[in-house]
Amino acid sequence: MFLYIFDLLGTAIFAVSGVSMAFRLKMDAVGVLVLASVVAIGGGTIRDLILDAPVFWLTDNNYIWIVVATCALMIAFIKKPTRIPWYVLPVSDAVGLAVFTVIGAEKALHYGFSPTVAVLMGTLTGCGGGAIRDVLAGQIPFIFQKEIYASACIIGGSVYCLLDYSHLPRVINILVAAGVVLAIRLTAIKWQLSLPTFSK
């Protein structure tokens, strides 16, 4: 139940990130909807296909409706998209990333796969939607150009897998691991931290 609300929240927040990007690219209402859907449910869809789990939004349409509602609310209440402060996109993205990383890792463990797969699925759930969004928008994905990004997912996913061996309540594990991802991302955004690259 807690995980479910947490998941719907992540979906809404990732949809916000999709809508912000669509506004920035001056798309119409349907473009907004498509981009928001891709960010919000794209990563989890690929995860479920790979895990051979039923795709999560097929039987529970709440995920779809929360994306539609987020788009409608943002279109209705934001008269001037350019007035969205610059940090809305990266911060909402960071929160969504934290939530989805943990949910992805949790689902893989729940289906009986190894921690290695769980870390990978966490990263995929977190970064997948955003990567498809960027590719559709004609940009090189976030994960390749931004400050510490996918690495936050890898660390957060690993933390969750470690905590999973503990006897703590799962809610604690989820919040701690999501907190780790969020803290890393926000720190990276604030001080523009990047990993060293291999140029020359």
Is 56 one of the binding residues for a copy of itself (CB under 8 A)?
no
User: Residues 3, 8, 73, 137: which binds a copy of itself (CB under 8 A)?
Assistant: 137
Distance (Å, whole) CA 12 – CA 6:
10
- Interacting stretch for a copy of itself, rule CB under 8 A, among 93-101, 132-140, 157-165, 169-177? 132-140
By CB under 8 A, tell whether 98 contacts a copy of itself: no
Provide, rounded to whole angstroms, the least separation between the CB of residue 168 and a copy of itself: 26
Tell me the window of 10-18, 56-64, 98-106, 169-177 that interacts with a copy of itself (CB under 8 A). Answer: 56-64
Cα–Cα dist 127/113, whole Å: 20
Measured between alpha carbons, how far is 121 from 17 in angstroms, rounded to an integer? 21
> What is the C-alpha radius of gyration for the chain, rounded to an integer number of angstroms?
16
167 binds a copy of itself, rule: CB under 8 A: no
The 10 Å Cβ neighbour count of residue 173 is 21
Task: Give the Cα separation of 98 and 179 in Å (integer).
Answer: 7
Euclidean distance between CA atoms 82 and 69, whole angstroms: 21
- The residue ranges that bind a copy of itself (CB under 8 A) are 22-23, 25-35, 45, 49-52, 54-55, 57-59, 61, 64-65, 75, 80-82, 113-114, 116-117, 120, 131, 135-141, 143-144, 148-151, 154, 194-200
